[in-house]
Amino acid sequence: MSAIRQLDYTLGIHSQSLESQIGNTPLLSFQRITADLPPYVRVYDKAEWMNPGGSVKDRAAYSIITTAERDGHLRAGKILTDATSGNTGIAYAMIGAARGHRVRLFLPENASPERIAILRAYGAELILTPAEDGTDGAIYAVRDEVAAHPERYFYADQYSNPANWQAHYKTTGVEIWHQTHGQVTHFVAGLGTSGTFMGTGRRLRDYHPRVHLISSQPDAAIHRIEGWKHMESALNPAIYDPHFAERNVPVSTEAAYAMAKRLAREEGYLVGVSAAAAMVAAMTVAEEAAARHEHAVIVTLFPDSAYKYLSERFWTED
């Protein structure tokens, strides 16, 4: 036992590592937004902003990093690199700092200033790509860099890495099943890398084959729901199976903005735009179930809080 751990033991201090705080996020309920639903239709969300890096992406980043360490792909002298819209990058930077890995990230230049500031605070090196190219542009840029210098990098490739969806198979799906006491009937999640939806959905289907798995994505190729992809017009992640979801619920940027303000002002939940979009999709499913007089326990995820988006103008617009 190290001297520090011996002192903790002597003093009765039960300390935790940074990584041990990832996951086991609570389920939250609602008071006003769901008030018109009948009692046999319930909506819950996983408060993923309670992860130490502030988002659901802590789960995937930790899985990707530890798997690469175990397999020998991420070792001393290698630079961890990837494309990101922000949250996975923050998770890489946070866990990389804790585990002693250098991190270089490619992200669109229109990422929120809060995200860029957080990444730089963690010491990540940033390569900003043209805003009009979106996340796909960042993906192409990081691929070019890795191809030019393969010996320099561990390319985490969150869009193709199975450790992404496996993180949710091992944790998120298990948590939802136990937190709902096996009563979950519908799982709703937005699509970005698709890791959350694919991994959680697979686990819930293993528990019960009749759980409804419903994906959501922007209703148009040009949108402002950061972290989400319009799959018909975007570069599809290799881990994404377009036939896995039984249906998709499109969400407009305007509906997501409106829901973000409602969640803050009616429920006290200050969440990000993708979280608000997920709530729009979950409420669509809930209202449909209510119209059919169908019992439903609907679970979605709030990927992060609003603190990285407060510079967005919509917060102060009517």
Q: Are 163 and 142 in contact (CB under 8 A)?
A: no
Reduced to 3 states, what is the DSSP secondary structure of residue 23?
Answer: coil
Active-site residue identified among 215, 216, 274, 305: 274
The sign of the CA dihedral 197, 201, 204, 208 is: positive
Nearest to 87 by CA among 273, 218, 269: 273
Nearest-10 crossing angle of helices 162-170, 172-179: 20
Active-site residue identified among 46, 57, 229, 308: 57
3-state secondary structure 253-318: HHHHHHHHHHHHHHHCCCECHHHHHHHHHHHHHHHHHHHCCCCEEEEEEECEECCCCCCCHHHHCC
Catalytic-residue membership of 57:
yes
Q: Which amino acid is at 32?
A: R
Token pair recorded at residue 115: 């995200």
Task: Read off the DSSP letter of residue 48.
Answer: G
Distance of CA 199 to the CA centre of its chain: 12
Catalytic-residue membership of 274:
yes
Torsions phi, psi of 284, nearest 5? -60, -45
Q: Give the C-alpha separation, 163 to 165, whole Å.
A: 6
Q: Which residues are catalytic?
A: 57, 274
